[in-house]
Structure 1
Amino acid sequence: MSVSTHIDDAKTRIRCERDATEAKLDAIKRFTDRVKELPPEPTPRSVQGVTAAAGALSHVSHSTEDRCQIVRRTFAETIRPQITDDAEKSESLHATIEAEFSESLAVALAPTTETSFSPELKEAVVSEANIRRVEVDVLRRALRREASRLDDAGAVVTDITEWITAKNETPLTALDFDELHRRHETLTDHRDRCEALARQRQEFLRSTTNHGGEIGISHRNLIPYIYQDFPVDYPVLTTVARLDSTCEECQRAVRQHLVRRA
């Protein structure tokens, strides 16, 4: 009989997170590709100021839908659906762009700002999108590593749990001294496996997933964030600790029978 654990719940959560991350990566790529295809507007003669993030400020009138508006619409159609849930739908597009990219880009692209889609502004938008793509890709790789660790931990936990379940079908009173001794030794091996698994998990939590040494995600911060609404902060460590405790209780019962048979 299989027993559901916090690790199983964690696997389900990670699958959802990985799907969402892949969708966001695809959205960023589609956004970037469409912005790259959008030709910049020629710099108007009546330029009041130019910045890399804000483009060219001008009082020259634009077409019905200027290119900054096209960028905003493209963002709304691609990236925004992947980063807002139902509770955040009321957040303005300006606020979402600011949170995802930067305040200066949100201002530069805002319809209330008379900014042309200059080559500098186009480059700034593409550059910021590429940075976000790298950050999300680092997250994707961190989630993939977590999924692999969960599979490994789940296999160990399942193996030990199934062994305990099968052995519990035979009462200790039906075992002779040698059988009791072998069961006690096997439980020791299982506890060693639990200890090794807990140690490996701690090592994973102390590590990071990086991109070129510049962008990285600390697993110590990522794991509690992913499982923040779980009843436990660390699903793997909690499951392993409880399993080790179960093995210890089983050993105690076996030892009592061994003493009686000695």
Structure 2
Amino acid sequence: MTDSTVVHRAVACLEDERADVADRASALETFARQVRDVPTASGPAQAAVAVPATPKAMATAVGSAAATPKPPDDRCATVREAFVDTVEPHTIAADDDSLGKTMAAELSEEIAVSLAAEADWTPALKRAVLEEIETQRRKTVLLEETLQRERRTLEEAIDEIDEIVAWLRTTADESLLQCGFDDLHEKHGCLEAHRDRLETLIDDRQRQFSGETNPRGTADYRGLVAAIYADLSVQYPLLSTATRLYGICGDCQRTVRAHLARRV
């Protein structure tokens, strides 16, 4: 059954998705660390520039300030650059989306506007950015858990499918005309058991898609699965393979039943 290879290829697609999500989680952590390192206007960098305690020190400080113009506050630019270096490569934004649009999708429109407008890098803005990063990080953790659960689902289903396909292959070359009544009856029972297992697998998958069995209210499991396996020849490889195999077992069972009827 060549269709069974589709569900095996689904594992490779899933592993690619898990790797992408892990990279995104790492990027978010790096971005958060870099954001924490950017001092605010009232942060350590400003506190370090204290009023000199002696007249000589004051004269030196004034002279230095006069000789070197104060650079503009580029802390927001630093945060934008950190975003570009860390998170942007792991977003789902379209290739032609602007940086502002991508940041709005990841951090909120208000934060994106503030960072793009060269606003003051205040403690409130820094806190807001870190809170949005944490929100995205929690979503990523939930997605990682969902993908891990999908991996277990695939592995269990593949074990079932491989066992049934192996049984069908061992009996494919047997002539039913050479089988006695007892042998035919046993084959009929085996096929019935295989169909029951496949029916359970299909029902369990449908309940997953409907959200009945998903932990923590995982949203749109069907849409997630369709996106993960978008490059395959079928949209839902596990469901497609199990359904097709169920039909094959049914056809075989009807053939065996016809031979049984001739033995009566």
Pick the structure with more strand per residue: 1
1:163 aligns with 2:167: yes
8 Å CA contact 1:27, 1:78 repeated in 2: yes
Partner of 1:95: 101
Structure 1 runs (4+) greater than 6 angstroms displaced: none
Cα distance in 2 for partners of 1:67, 1:236 equals 49
Partner of 1:225: 227
Kindly tell me the number of residue pairs found equivalent between the two proteins.
Answer: 237
Deviates more, 1:179-188 or 1:223-232: 223-232
1:4 to partner: Cα distance: 3.8
Deviates more, 1:2-11 or 1:171-180: 2-11
Partner of 2:13: 13
Which AA in structure 1 matches 2:129? Answer: V
1:109 aligns with 2:122: no
Query: What is the aligned-residue RMSD (CA, Å)?
Result: 2.3
1:67 aligns with 2:75: yes
Which AA in structure 2 matches 1:97? Answer: M
1:132 partner SS = helix
Cα distance in 2 for partners of 1:209, 1:228 equals 24
Cα distance in 1 for partners of 2:3, 2:224 equals 27
**Match for 2:139 among 111, 116, 135?**
135
- Aligned residues with identical type, % of pairs: 35
Cα distance in 1 for partners of 2:70, 2:11 equals 51
**Match for 2:178 among 170, 174, 178?**
174
- Bigger Rg over Cα: 2
Which AA in structure 2 matches 1:19? Answer: A
Cα distance in 1 for partners of 2:262, 2:143 equals 56
1:19-70 per-residue CA deviation (whole Å, 9 max, x = no partner) reads 1001000000010011112211239xxxxxxxxxxxxxxxxx9736711111
Cα distance, 1:209–1:220 mapped onto 2, change above 3 Å? farther
1:29-44 map, 5 Å: 29-42=29-42
Partner of 1:258: 260
Which AA in structure 2 matches 1:69? Answer: A
TM-score scaled by length of structure 1: 0.83
Pick the structure with more helix per residue: 2
Partner of 2:248: 246
Cα distance in 1 for partners of 2:171, 2:128 equals 64
Cα distance, 1:205–1:84 mapped onto 2, change above 3 Å? closer
Structure 1: give runs of 5+ residues left out of the alignment: 44-60
TM-score scaled by length of structure 2: 0.82
8 Å CA contact 1:139, 1:217 repeated in 2: no
Deviates more, 1:121-130 or 1:95-104: 95-104
